[in-house]
Structure 1
């Protein structure tokens, strides 16, 4: 990704947290634990683990490739009715995030971004007057229901469960099915396929 891809903000946040961290390794677990706690408290426990992991990866990238002595790294987390968004801002605007091929095992920076891309609905970066912001976003089930997406699948690695949302009524999903990892998950029509969730056990932290 070589160009910023800012997205319009759909609504004022329902919840918001902004905190600056010193550019030290100690800040990474602090930011990770704070993100997990806040996202769960804000009513999205199924995304708390993934959001915390993404914050950890983006913080680590900022430390390795975006930090300057005496300048802080900012973590900004918001939830609005449609989206969970995490941002990590650093002062090095010339060091842009670029994922690396999986085979380049020494590129910790690029591998972390591959993980971010796998966990989030989307990610990108935006320029600042000084530095840059790297963000990741997750579409919430409410947003999917409002746009008429017939089936919304959520994988919760903290509880080892899969949640299938279906039958959108324009505001929410009328049906939510929860199954543990290892069970076959039947996605209703119009998707109409069955998923083997046994391999998801390998993703449990």
Structure 2
């Protein structure tokens, strides 16, 4: 009786990037509808980049997009001005950025006032899901960009 030789094991190469460089940017109306609409092209773009629908990574990133977009509409709304969604993928990092045009409201991680409060948990959720997050003021005009990064392990 003969046995099949074991299959070679491919070593993990941690310096090998998973994603080539990708970038996507789009503006949306600073309305609840605009925040809802931002999820769809973000999900489509992630799927096209190799982050399939229904995967944990895809679901996490679209949730981050939804939370940051809703926050831009609720806390960064200036009448007549849009918010911008940017996605990028490079190496093993996927980055979400949402820019609004209101710079006097700084994002902070504050605990909700009570358990029955219906809002105020968006950034807490983003902080729990993302590997890193933060914000920076816009250099080219009023506003701020809130960003989150998710590191994706090698397959």
TM-score of the superposed pair, with normalisation by structure 2: 0.77
Mapped partners of 2:33, 2:69: distance in 1: 11
Q: Check if 1:101 corresponds to 2:97.
A: no
Match of 1:135 among 136, 144, 147: 147
Which stretch has the larger CA shift, 72-81 or 44-53? 44-53
Mapped partners of 2:78, 2:114: distance in 1: 26
Match of 2:91 among 65, 72, 81: 81
The runs of 5 or more residues in structure 2 that have no matched partner are: 1-19
Give CA-to-partner distance per residue, 1:57-86, whole Å, 9 cap, x none.
111111111010111100000001131000
The runs of 5 or more residues in structure 1 that have no matched partner are: 1-12, 143-175, 177-205
Question: Which residue of structure 1 lines up, in the alignment, with residue 100 of structure 2?
Answer: 90
| Contact residue 26 and residue 85 of structure 2 kept, 8 A | yes
Q: Which has the higher contact order (CA 8 A, sep 6+)?
A: 2
Question: Alpha-carbon deviation of 1:93?
Answer: 1.1
| Contact residue 35 and residue 48 of structure 1 kept, 8 A | no
Question: Which residue of structure 1 lines up, in the alignment, with residue 3 of structure 2?
Answer: none
Larger Rg: 2
| Contact residue 37 and residue 48 of structure 1 kept, 8 A | no
| Contact residue 112 and residue 119 of structure 2 kept, 8 A | no
Give the structure with the larger strand fraction: 1
Indicate the RMSD between aligned Cα atoms, in angstroms.
Answer: 1.9
Mapped partners of 2:146, 2:114: distance in 1: 22
List structure 1 segments (4+ residues) > 2 angstroms apart after TM superposition. Answer: 102-107
